[in-house]
């Protein structure tokens, strides 16, 4: 590829990275919009092929690099990384200073993403409704049963990497959203990125690479055989998981942002707020509605241009 082509791919990677940092916006959808989704899937399928590694281990580095389209993947990864490290600082600030507005924006994004996925299903049947309902029950169950704090152990970070990165390439599914469900969005995407915690980021990356290599072909096969059922369950899961994104689900963080409660040390569990503090809180309902609508509009625009490009 020419240099201009690499720059173009990096720019598309930047958009994918931006989408994957924000829960509710799908990096896979952005890949479809920019016309590189099928190429990404093809490259990932090559990475899951045993014959690819035979080239590597027999010293045929040039053939290996060409088969996986290494230049394309490298440019794409560079764009994604620049985007993640740029946006993490912005989101770290907004989540601490304006938690209600930030989560309302995410809430709007996720509602719109689920709505788009439902609209894409044509000719609804009773089994489709059942599959979507199963997804909703799973989503609510996972969010309600998952602990407030999940372990920071490296094995769990690796699992988050596998789940998050695999979901990042699916159109309509947000990798960051899955990290929210797993309780590790802030720890990985905000804290680890802003503090350049190489151990956590490296473990997350290794988990992601292993997950992609292990499941790329399986994912491709499942989507080719049961795409409709899979996407219906995933859509239901997203809808059910909205209980975790509700802007007022964490009143303690809202109190901290307004100077009515002390900042917790790492590992501390938020205590119950005094009734007097609760009554003094500004819930920012008007601004939350505005930001939720903005989130809805963002996904609407992305979907509009995605359909137009098709």
What are the tens digits of pLDDT across the range 196-231?
899 999 999 899 888 877 776 676 677 677 878 877
The average confidence (pLDDT) of the chain is 81
pLDDT, tens only, 85-94: 888 778 878 8
| Two structure tokens written together for 305 | 């241009």
Identify the three-state secondary structure at position 77: helix
- Distance of alpha carbon 115 from alpha carbon 119, whole angstroms: 6
Residue 31: partners with Cβ closer than 8 Å, 6 or more residues away: 12, 16, 37, 40, 169, 171
Backbone angles phi, psi at 98, to 5 degrees: -130, 65
The pLDDT of residue 213: 74
The pLDDT of residue 293: 94
Would the pLDDT of 172 be above 80? no
The pLDDT of residue 249: 81
- Distance of alpha carbon 248 from alpha carbon 92, whole angstroms: 18
DSSP 208-259: HHHHHHHHHHHHHHHHHHHHHHHHHHHHHHHHHGGGGT-TTS-HHHHHHHTT
**CA 121 to mean position of chain CA atoms:** 22
The pLDDT of residue 130: 92
Would the pLDDT of 310 be above 60? no
* 156 band by pLDDT with thresholds 50, 70 and 90: very high
């Amino acid at each position: 590829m020419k240099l201009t082509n690499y720059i173009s791919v990096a720019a598309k990677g930047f958009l994918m990275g931006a989408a994957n940092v924000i829960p509710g916006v799908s990096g896979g959808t952005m890949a479809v919009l920019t016309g590189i989704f099928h190429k990404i899937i093809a490259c990932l399928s090559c990475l899951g092929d045993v014959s690819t590694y035979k080239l590597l281990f027999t010293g045929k580095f040039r053939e290996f690099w060409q088969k996986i389209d290494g230049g394309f993947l490298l440019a794409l990864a560079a764009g994604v990384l620049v985007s993640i490290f740029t946006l993490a600082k912005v989101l770290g600030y907004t989540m601490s200073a304006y938690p209600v507005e930030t989560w309302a924006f995410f809430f709007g994004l996720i509602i719109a993403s689920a709505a788009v996925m439902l609209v894409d299903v044509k000719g609804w049947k009773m089994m489709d409704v059942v599959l979507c309902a199963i997804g909703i029950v799973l989503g609510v169950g996972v969010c309600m049963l998952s602990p407030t704090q999940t372990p920071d152990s490296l094995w769990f970070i690796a699992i988050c990497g596998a789940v998050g990165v695999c979901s990042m390439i699916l159109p309509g599914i947000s990798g960051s959203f899955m990290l929210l469900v797993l309780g590790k969005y802030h720890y990985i995407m905000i804290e680890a990125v802003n503090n350049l915690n190489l151990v956590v980021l490296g473990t997350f990356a290794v988990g992601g690479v292993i997950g992609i290599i292990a499941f790329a072909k399986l994912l491709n096969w499942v989507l080719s055989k049961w795409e409709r059922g899979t996407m219906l369950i995933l859509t239901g899961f997203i809808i059910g998981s909205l209980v975790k994104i509700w802007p007022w689900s964490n009143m303690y963080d809202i109190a901290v942002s307004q100077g009515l409660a002390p900042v917790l040390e790492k590992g501390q569990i938020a205590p119950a707020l005094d009734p007097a503090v609760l009554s003094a809180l500004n819930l920012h309902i008007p601004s939350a509605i505005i930001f939720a609508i903005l989130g809805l509009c963002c996904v609407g625009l992305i979907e509009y241009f995605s359909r137009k490009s098709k």
